[in-house]
Amino acid sequence: MSSLLEWIISNTAVAIFLGFAATVAARFARLPALSHALWLLALVKMITPPLFQVSVPVNAFEKVETISVASHSVSGRIEEDRIENLGTNALPENRSDLQTRFSWQAMLLALWIIGSLTWFTLAGRRAFRFNGWLRKANPTSPELDDLVQSVAQRLNLSRLPRAVMFEGIASPLLWSFGGQAWIAFPAKLMDSLSSEERETLIAHELAHYRRADHWFRWLEVMLIGIYWWHPVVWWIRRGLRQAEEDCCDAWVLWAYPSSEKPYARTLLKTIDFLADDADPIPTTACGISGRGKINNVKQRFEMILNKKTNPRMTWRHATLAGVFAVILLPISGIVLDTRLQAKESNKSNSESEKVSSESTTVTDRLARLEQAIEKLIENRSSDPAPSKEAIEANYRYEHSKREMNLGRLTSELELADSEGSILLMRFEKMREKAKLEYNELKKKFDEGRIGKSDLNNSKLALDLADLDFAQSQIQFDRRMRKLRAEIKIHELELKHLEQMLSKPDVF
């Protein structure tokens, strides 16, 4: 769950950057084709998986500390490392935290899936109904068919969508479903336009078809269905549709260089026509939605009347878009992979340091003590020699200090043994209780008296009880081994000091 969240956040950050770049290209550079390409990259970025495979364990106990085993020996045994200190009250709280976290994650995931299924169901239902309604629409007149053919030749189109007319108040649109494409025009609007204005309106819809915007609509619907809760995706959708309209405006002016004023009048009449309670169109159709169009009408009219746009991308702009795609699309994978490599490197370094710091054996400590004593004896001739009484007093002080430490460690070992035994008995009872409850519920489930969810909850409680017991057992064993090793070291050091004190020639 955490890795999925990191992936979404990383993709969202890159998509926002691409969206701002697209906005700059549209408003300041007057490059609608480049703006559309950047908006499309932002949309694709939201579903781009990491390029590099990131190994993330997916289970309900994701936050539990991983028990790693390091093989360094005191008396030749294996010790479990990287387990945090667990107090007598920490484990029950940890179990409760795990259950709460698991339940919240499951609820959020279920809500996400339900929302996506609802979106796809509603979008599919509207698409089927609209497609059936459009098939029953009236065919266009021969004069309008000839006009469509003439406009298609200007736009260098070899294939044409099917043209139909419909009654009612709705936007002129391009529609594609099941491999068949239509351009549909409201009869009342077409009757109010002059011949030149009709040409520009038809050119606008055919520009959508030339650019394959109807295919991008289906990609857009899929992304909205997945990220229905994500405000950035809806922002990208608005920017992408506005860029499509700007590109189609540029294509109209390219096909009809001297028709900027008739085309502007066509847009005004269309917006005025849609202001009278226009019927909604499916989200997969390419048409004027009304409100969003009116908010940007001033910017569009300035672009149309100035004629400072190019419907195609130059090779420089295409190269720039390609560079953005190559660098930014896989960036979430690179970020995750770099983060993972750094984490693994730090983990390896910390384990190496920990093993090296804890792998000091009894022999090493005795060797250092003996070297220090030998060095002291060797330097007696060159340095001002202390008296025999002072040296002996120093040895006896070290001997007494180690005796005190040995007594303290022995008492601590006995106390830890008692506390650990009580703790283990407590967790053993909890585990047995959870096991009995699970067996009873399993019998009821086999008899059909309870549902599967109740049995799964009982199984989760049993697994958590087993996990708590295993963690407490490992912690107890580790603490006992450490105390016994320290006691062994002090015993050997005491024995060594006693041997040194028993040698009269040492002093």
Based on the domain organization, do 220 and 326 belong to the same domain?
yes
Q: Please indicate, yes or no, whether residues 117 and 247 belong to a single structural domain of this protein.
A: yes
What one-letter code names the amino acid at 90? A
Average pLDDT on 172-196 reads 91
Statement to judge: residues 326 and 384 lie in one domain: no
| Average confidence (pLDDT) over 432-447 | 85
- Total domains in the fold of the chain: 2
Q: 417 and 276, same structural domain?
A: no
Q: Decide if 22 is inside a domain.
A: yes
Same-domain pairing of 275 and 420: no
Domain end marker among 282, 313, 333: 333
Q: For position 367, what pLDDT does the model report?
A: 66
In this structure, are 399 and 491 located in the same domain? yes
Higher per-residue confidence, 138 vs 358:
138
Rounded Cα–Cα distance for residues 67 and 290 (Å): 60
Residue 77 in domain: no
Please check whether residues 372 and 295 belong to one and the same domain: no
The burial class, CB within 10 Å (0-12 / 13-18 / 19+), for 192 is middle
* Predicted pLDDT at 417: 84
Q: Please say if the pLDDT value at position 68 is more than 50.
A: no
Q: Tell me, what's the pLDDT at 293?
A: 47
Q: Are residues 259 and 318 located together in one domain of the fold?
A: yes
Instruction: Tell me the pLDDT band of 83, cut-offs 50, 70 and 90.
Output: very low
Same domain, 159 and 270: yes
Could you report the per-residue pLDDT of 280-299, keeping only the tens digit for each? 888 888 886 545 444 566 77
pLDDT, one tens digit per residue, over 382-430 is 555 556 667 677 777 777 887 888 888 888 888 888 888 888 888 888 8
The predicted structure's pLDDT at residue 335? 43
Mean pLDDT of 34-45: 93
What pLDDT digit, counting tens, does each position of 96-144 carry? 555 565 678 788 889 999 999 999 999 999 999 998 888 888 888 889 9
The mean pLDDT value for 192-208 works out to: 93
Do 505 and 499 contact (CB within 8 A), yes or no?
Answer: no
Query: What was the pLDDT predicted at 66?
Result: 36
> Which of 3-12, 188-197, 302-311, 328-337: highest mean pLDDT?
188-197
Going by pLDDT thresholds of 50, 70 and 90, the confidence category of residue 346 is: low
Residue 137 CA, chain-centre distance (Å), reads 46
Residue 91 has pLDDT above 50, yes or no: no
pLDDT for res 463: 81
Secondary structure string (H, E, C) spanning 84-146: CCCCCCHHHHHHHHHHHHHHHHHHHHHHHHHHHHHHHHHHHHHHHHHHHHHHCCEECCHHHHH
| Structure-model confidence comparison of residues 327 and 72, the more confident one | 327
The answer to the question of residue 88 being in a domain is no
Asked if the structure places residue 74 within a domain, the reply is: no
Domain annotation covers residue 441: yes
**pTM of the predicted structure, to 2 decimals:** 0.58
Residue 75's pLDDT band, with cuts at 50, 70 and 90, is very low
Residue 114: inside a domain: yes
CA distance 215 to 197: 27
Report yes or no on 86 lying in a domain: no
Whether residue 142 is found in the same domain as residue 199: yes
Statement: residue 506 has pLDDT above 60: no
Pick the range with the lowest mean pLDDT from 86-95, 273-282, 349-358, 368-377.
86-95
Which pLDDT value is given to residue 208? 94
Q: Which residues contact 90 (CB under 8 A, 6 or more apart)?
A: none
pLDDT of amino acid 365 = 62
Q: Regarding beta strands 162-166 and 138-139, do their DSSP bridges make them parallel or antiparallel, or are they unpaired?
A: antiparallel
Say how many residues make up the chain: 507
At 57 the pLDDT is 42
Has residue 65 got a pLDDT over 50? no
* Boundary (domain end) residue, out of 333, 350, 385: 333
Please give the residue range of the domain that contains residue 213.
Answer: 2-55+94-333
Q: Which of the given ranges, 69-83, 94-108, 224-238, 265-279, has the highest pLDDT on average?
A: 224-238
Residues 308 and 425 in one domain: no
pLDDT digits (tens, 9 = 90+) for 318-337: 899 999 888 888 765 444 44
In this predicted structure, what is the pLDDT of residue 336?
42
50 and 157, same domain (yes or no): yes
Average pLDDT, the chain: 77
Q: How confident is the model over 135-163, as a mean pLDDT?
A: 91
Q: What pLDDT does residue 370 have? A: 65
Residue 438 falls inside a structural domain? yes
DSSP string covering 433-494 = HHHHHHHHHHHHHHTTSS-HHHHHHHHHHHHHHHHHHHHHHHHHHHHHHHHHHHHHHHHHHH
Q: Reply yes or no on whether the pLDDT at 72 is more than 50.
A: no
Instruction: Please give the pLDDT value at position 384.
Output: 55
Residues 108, 74 contacting (CB under 8 angstroms): no
CATH value at residue 453:
1.10.287
Contact criterion met (CB below 8 Å) for 247 and 36: yes
The pLDDT value given to residue 325 = 87
